[in-house]
Amino acid sequence: MLSLEEAVERSLAASPLLGSEIVPLADAGGRFVASPLKAGMSLPGFDNSAMDGYAARSADLNGATTESPVELSCIGVIPAGAYPVNTVGEGTCMRVFTGSPIPRGADAVIMQEDCSSTPGDDHTVRCNDSIKPWENIRLKGEDVREGDPLITAGTRITAGTIGLLAATGHHSVEVGLRPKIGLVATGSELVEPPGELQPGEIYESNRDMLVSLLANANGLPTPYPIVPDMLEDTVTALEQAFADNDAVLTSGGVSVGDHDHVKPAIERLGGSLDFWKVAVKPGKPFVLGQVGGKPVFGMPGNPVSALVTYLLLVRPALLNMQGAAEWRLAKRPGCLVDELANKGDRRHFVRVTIDDHGLVRSVGGQHSHMLGSLAKANGLVDLPPGTRLAKGDPVNVQLIDS
């Protein structure tokens, strides 16, 4: 059996980097940066006021208090967006607002709350407090300096990144292409919901579940009609899925049963195969293959196995195809409320919930067909063989990004 790490390595190696495209910033959230950018300008772009108040010389206000205020003569108003031409000299100030450029001569802004006006005199500002040099001024380049790295290749674009790019004058960004993914569910027992079930039949539940998971990995899914357990049908379905997509995800039909046709179908299409038993539970068996340079991930049909193998083995590959620098699931430290034990010989990815306080509970039934408990889970705990964890033990929870 392959170790999970080895299986992930093979999965990554089988997933070619797709190209890149330039997208508007508004559509770039969650995508991966394709080429790094340096800041073409500083932020702030000029010294400006952090407050509504008066731009003044800090030296003029030395020792000012309510009891002994200092009076300054206001020589003008600088609304945000205007550029000051006057210089603030000794004994003078200028009215400024948040974002107003700082006029020459001034080295601080006194908040308007610390000032009062003189009745009948619009030009005199009474300052009731002193200020330190550069107080309430946002200095040019204190946030981002021109030439600093702005974004690095492979990072995921967040709302903050988008704000930063827009603030430095960008309206678009180059990102890795979204992989087109064909979804093929195999099984003669499967019925498309909400069709009528005949005895022995079940509803097909993997394709929609995978569509939802793929949304978090920028995948562009195309679900294909359910494929009965017949070699010819499997070959036809896979051929179409490869023609339309960058990668194919199949579910079911990868065991060694008489009705498991995914592997022979890949071979019939001239593809190569790597069949694994990965030492994880749930999860074995799993097929990695490729047809014409495009990867195919043959996941087990059991819904829990399909979800867990998708997260552990397929998601990393799909992120890798987009140039992502990080493909591991996010982790959160927590504390066990339930006891967890793995008496088996494979790593068990136990479905759990982790709450806002970091308390971690098993969702109950851990068998690979149990969707009732899977639906409650928001995380996985990686439990090595022979491990017994007690109530109160610390655990790292891998978050299910769905």
Check residue 58 for interaction with ligand AMP (CB under 6 A). no
Check residue 303 for interaction with Mg ion (CB under 5 A). no
CB of residue 189 to Mg ion, shortest distance in Å: 7
Check residue 300 for interaction with ligand AMP (CB under 6 A). yes
CB of residue 249 to Mg ion, shortest distance in Å: 15
Decide whether 131 or 299 has the Cβ nearer to Mg ion.
299
What is the b/e burial string over 111-120, where b = at least 16 CB atoms within 10 angstroms of the residue's CB? bbebbeeeee
DSSP code, position 311: I
Check residue 185 for interaction with ligand AMP (CB under 6 A). yes
Binding mask 245-274 for ligand AMP (x = CB under 6 A): ------xxx-x-------------------
Residue 366 neighbours by CB distance under 10 Å = 19
CB of residue 391 to Mg ion, shortest distance in Å: 39
Check residue 252 for interaction with Mg ion (CB under 5 A). yes
Check residue 300 for interaction with Mg ion (CB under 5 A). no
* Nearest residue relative to ligand AMP (C-beta): 301
At 90, list the tokens: 């000794």
What is the b/e burial string over 28-39, where b = at least 16 CB atoms within 10 angstroms of the residue's CB? beebbbbeebeb
Residue 259 neighbours by CB distance under 10 Å = 15
Residue 136 neighbours by CB distance under 10 Å = 20
β-partners of residue 361 are 353
Pick from 303, 323, 334, 379 the residue near ligand AMP by CB under 6 A.
Answer: 303
CB of residue 262 to ligand AMP, shortest distance in Å: 9
Residues in the chain: 402
Cα–Cα distance between 266 and 273 in angstroms, integer?
Answer: 7
Q: Which stretch binds ligand AMP (CB under 6 A): 19-27, 138-146, 181-189, 355-363?
A: 181-189
Which of the residues 156 through 195 are near Mg ion (CB under 5 A)? 187
DSSP-assigned letters across all residues of 15-84: S----EEEEEGGG-TT-BBSS-EE-SS-BSSS-EESSSEEEE-GGGGTT--SSS-EEEEEEEEE-TT---
154 binds, among Mg ion, ligand AMP, none (CB under 5 to 8 A by kind): none
Check residue 231 for interaction with ligand AMP (CB under 6 A). no
Check residue 298 for interaction with Mg ion (CB under 5 A). no
CB of residue 253 to Mg ion, shortest distance in Å: 5
Q: Binders of Mg ion: how many residues, by CB under 5 A?
A: 4
Which of the residues 187 through 216 are near ligand AMP (CB under 6 A)? 187, 189-190, 202, 204-206
Decide whether 201 or 393 has the Cβ nearer to ligand AMP.
201
- Contacts with 121 (C-beta within 8 Å, 6 or more apart), sequence order: none
Helix (H) or strand (E) holding 113: none
CB of residue 214 to ligand AMP, shortest distance in Å: 15
Q: Which stretch binds Mg ion (CB under 5 A): 238-246, 247-255, 327-335, 367-375?
A: 247-255
Decide whether 187 or 223 has the Cβ nearer to Mg ion.
187
Contact, 56 vs 106, CB < 8 A? yes
Pairing of the two strands 190-191 and 202-203: parallel
Backbone region of residue 272 per phi and psi (left: phi > 0; alpha: psi in -120 to 50; beta: other values): beta
Cα-based distances in Å from 376 to 90, 352, 371:
69, 8, 9
Q: Which stretch binds Mg ion (CB under 5 A): 14-22, 198-206, 250-258, 339-347?
A: 250-258
Pairing of the two strands 149-151 and 172-176: unpaired
Q: Which residues bind Mg ion (CB under 5 A)?
A: 187, 252-253, 301
- Per CB under 6 A, residues contacting ligand AMP are 185, 187, 189-190, 202, 204-206, 251-253, 255, 300-303
